[in-house]
Amino acid sequence: MTVFLSISPSLCPMLGLLLLLSGCWSLQQWVLQRVPVVLPQQIKPGPAPHFLSQARLDVSSSCDPDCHRKAPKPSYWDLRNILSYETLHSNGSLTTTSVEIYGYNPNSDTTVVYKARSRGKREAHVRRKRQIFGHDGRFSIVGQNYLLQFPFSVVVKLSTGCSGTLVGNRHVLTAAHCVHDGKNYVKGAQRLRVGFLKPKYRDTQSTNFFLNLTNQIGSPYPPPTNDKMKFQWIRARRTHVPKGWIKANANDIGMDYDYALLELKKLHKRHHMKLGVSPPAQRLPGRRVHFSGFDNDRPGDLVYRFCLAGEETPDLLYQHCDAQPGASGSGVYARMWDPLRCKWERKIIGVFSGHQWVERQGASQDYNVAVRITPLKYAQICYWIKGNFVDCREG
């Protein structure tokens, strides 16, 4: 049983001292750190994009956690190329933006680039993707009171079939593979739409009848409500995809940079979730991560899950959260103590990418994988949202 307490701001310093003395302070709080600056330099027109590929709702990689850990760190020049990005505009044009990186400390940022190892003919084997691990631990969220309340209200659906998370007044964080397959933009990326759950139109005649009945005879029965939801769609104005994902311009680096940011054509008028630099798994309360999305096997439902964070590499978090295609692009978040605001706060620390099936130590293993938000990725995504680096120095 979980008990939530309301804490007076005046007691926050005392509570902080108690947590510090108990040893919990450093383990379960958001620790703000100075992040580098990823600053756009030159914008050039890009080639006309081709919308040839079908959107994939799931991705896979043959590089296991050990493969990632053994990979050499990229040079500064590699990172400049990887964090440069393409922007797809709603009119179909494409621009390419180069970046400069300032204040980067390779010892504090653990971004890794690797070349995926070939598995030869074994890659052609048909594999059964085990995306439900044991008992299905997912929860379908129902009812307007829940669906329209934070944190579930920040989850949106992409017209390409993926999920996304509101991270700004008009910005949505999702997976890059939901709009780009690594070589081409997918069909529907140019006219990409983002769906917000909202109540269906209520039968006002029936409602008025019950209200009149209540006024006349004091009926104890409230008017009927319709909890059925529908999607309200907003077009995307532009889509940013890092070149680290676009394999035509960088090494084959698998899932490490499987993230994209959408800018909507108008404000969505909902609360959004903040970004946070991904902490080590052992610092997460209960080592748990959470995310919600629109899994394809439960059409129309918003599906929530949480699980233990498993292995991690500098750029990826491995876990066994139950998920199905359609959940890709969901924002993976953690709930930790914010000592400055004296409250528990949720922040997005990763993007759910998809499934990974690898052979490790002679045995096959299955994972579900999320892309971690490193300091460099935080700096880039934050700049896309804010439009300046001054507001993006602490994550």
Please identify every residue annotated as catalytic.
Answer: 177, 252, 328
Residues 355, 365: contact at Cβ < 8 Å?
A: no
Q: What is the dihedral of CA 204, 210, 216, 217, to 10 degrees?
A: 180
- Which residues, at least 6 apart from 139, have a Cβ–Cβ distance to it below 8 Å? 303, 304, 305
Give, for 210, the enclosing helix (H) or strand (E). Answer: helix 204-217
176 vs 110: CA distance, rounded Å: 21
Residues 108, 375: contact at Cβ < 8 Å?
A: yes
- Measured at the alpha carbon of residue 56, what is the angle toward residues 350 and 320, in degrees to the nearest 5? 45
Cis amide leading into 151 (omega within 30): yes
276 vs 332: CA distance, rounded Å: 11
- Which residues, at least 6 apart from 101, have a Cβ–Cβ distance to it below 8 Å? 36, 37, 38, 39, 76, 79, 80, 83, 376
3-state secondary structure of 374: coil
3-state secondary structure of 242: strand
359 vs 132: CA distance, rounded Å: 19
Give, for 273, the enclosing helix (H) or strand (E). Answer: none
Distance of CA 345 to the CA centre of its chain: 16
173 vs 92: CA distance, rounded Å: 20
* Tokens, residue 166: 């509101």
Tokens 């599906």 found at: 303
**DSSP string over 143-176:** SHHHHTSTTGGGEEEETTS-EEEE-SSSEEEE-G
